[in-house]
């Protein structure tokens, strides 16, 4: 049963891995490692907790994230260089809007900000975000709804370097820091 289901899913798993990493060879390696992990843990799979397909896709996603963390290049940039790099082809008014959006994001209440980053910026499902935040799916949906409403209404008041809901923006420079923040949320939940 396990082997036939796994064989049936292989094309979908490979496609999913290719979508995640954009490299055919790396995707095949990720799927192979995920299959080995699934095979090793096959006795722990419980069909009453969820479908085999979702279990396998979760293992592939986690394998991809683990690979990305292991091979994450650590580069250091001066804040001004990073800002220029992130916005190099943007017009000035778009840059200002991006900065304002990031400031508004971090002016949200922590529970709204965390959920918004996990679901909207990173792309986790409501269910995955609920597990990470240790709350119900309905709570996740209402927090995202409130966050969206707040983000669309009020302009950012605090300036660079001020404290926003417990976060200092003096060391915050853009999209990579949002990703790092999300990774820290996930690690805290683990």
Q: Where exactly are the structural domains of the chain?
A: 2-70, 86-189
State residue 140's pLDDT score.
92
What is the C-alpha end-to-end distance of the chain, expressed in Å?
31
Residue 45's closest CA among 60, 27, 59, 31? Answer: 59
Task: Report pLDDT for 36.
Answer: 93
Q: pLDDT digit string (tens) for 143-169?
A: 999 988 888 876 545 444 444 444 444
In this prediction, residue 106 carries a pLDDT of: 78
Q: What is the dihedral of CA 30, 34, 35, 39, to 10 degrees?
A: 160
Separation of alpha carbons 128 and 10, rounded Å = 23
What are the distances in angstroms from CA 139 to CA 38, 69, 144?
Answer: 31, 29, 9
Which phi-psi region, left, alpha or beta, contains residue 15 (left: φ > 0; alpha: ψ -120 to 50)? alpha
The CATH number of the domain covering residues in 86-189: 1.10.10.10
Query: What's the confidence (pLDDT) of residue 30?
Result: 93
Give pLDDT, residue 136.
Answer: 93
Q: Which residues, given as ranges, of the chain have pLDDT below 50?
A: 92-95, 156, 158-173
Neighbours of 160 (CB within 10 A): 12
- The CATH number of the domain covering residues in 2-70: 1.10.1740.10
């Amino acid at each position: 049963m396990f082997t036939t289901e796994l064989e049936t899913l292989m094309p979908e798993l490979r496609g999913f891995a290719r979508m995640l990493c954009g490299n055919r060879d790396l995707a095949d390696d990720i799927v192979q490692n995920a299959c080995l992990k699934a095979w090793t843990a096959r006795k722990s799979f419980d069909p009453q907790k969820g479908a085999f397909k979702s279990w396998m896709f979760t293992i592939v996603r986690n394998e991809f994230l683990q690979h990305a963390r292991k091979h994450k290049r650590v580069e250091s940039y001066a804040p001004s260089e990073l800002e220029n790099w992130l916005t190099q082809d943007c017009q000035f008014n778009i840059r200002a809007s991006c900065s304002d959006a990031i400031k508004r994001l971090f002016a949200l209440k922590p529970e709204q900000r965390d959920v918004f980053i996990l679901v909207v910026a990173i792309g986790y499902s409501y269910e995955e975000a609920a597990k990470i935040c240790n709350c119900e799916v309905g709570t996740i949906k209402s927090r995202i709804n409130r966050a969206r409403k707040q983000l669309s209404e009020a302009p950012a008041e605090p300036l660079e370097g001020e404290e926003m809901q417990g976060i200092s923006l003096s060391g915050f420079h853009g999209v990579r820091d949002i990703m790092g923040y999300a990774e820290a949320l996930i690690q805290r939940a683990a």
